[in-house]
Amino acid sequence: MTTQQHVTVRVTHSYTAAPEQVFDAWLDPAMLGRWMFGPDVRNEEIVRLSLDARVGGTFSFVVRRQGEEIDHVGEYLEIDRPSRLAFTWGIKADSNDFSRVVIDIARRDQGTDLTLTHELHPDWADYAARTEAGWTTMLDALAKALG
């Protein structure tokens, strides 16, 4: 019997901002609209960004790309401000196919180091490079949004 292993994508980024600012940017819809979604990040329009920032709470980030609405949904699994955030991640249309994202944040002398780990189902292995590129773009945009 063979068991398929999840595919792990890991992206790191350093910020000059404090860990609390980096952490809070993940749970503030207005801030998410500056770095995770929207025209400053890619060719899309934000329809709605809503979240319930508590363990067991959910989020729904709806964007419109090329005339199609895409609803990114998930549930918060861990919220340990300012060091760790974990949540499921998926597209509502594929509601049975969720991955897991863990954000680890560490204070350093001149700011913050962030490590994002995205665990994809083996069926999504072909999307690993695209997933890494997407998170890299968003984490770069987060640096700009934090100033």
Per residue in 42-55, pLDDT (tens digit) is 999 999 999 999 99
Which conformational region is residue 38 in: left (phi greater than 0), alpha (psi within -120 to 50 degrees), or beta?
Answer: left
Q: Residues 6 or more apart from 22 whose CB is under 8 A from it?
A: 15, 82, 105, 112, 114, 142, 146
What pLDDT is attached to residue 15?
Answer: 98
pLDDT at 12 over 60: yes
Residue matched to tokens 């952490």: 23
Does residue 147 surpass a pLDDT of 50? yes
Position 6 scores a pLDDT of 86
Residue 74: its H or E element: strand 68-80
pLDDT in tens, 112-136: 999 999 999 888 889 999 999 999 9
Return mean pLDDT, the chain.
Answer: 94
Q: With CA atoms as reference, report the closest residue to 91 among 52, 126, 65.
A: 65
The fold for domain 7-146 equals Alpha-D-Glucose-1,6-Bisphosphate; Chain A, domain 4 (3.30.530)
Could you tell me the pTM of the whole model? 0.92
At 68-114, the pLDDT tens digits run: 999 999 999 999 999 999 999 999 876 667 899 999 999 999 999 99
Break the chain into its structural domains and give their ranges: 7-146
Work out the pLDDT band at 1, boundaries 50, 70, 90: very low
CA 92, 25, 49 angle in degrees (round to 5)? 35
Question: What does the pLDDT read at residue 40?
Answer: 85
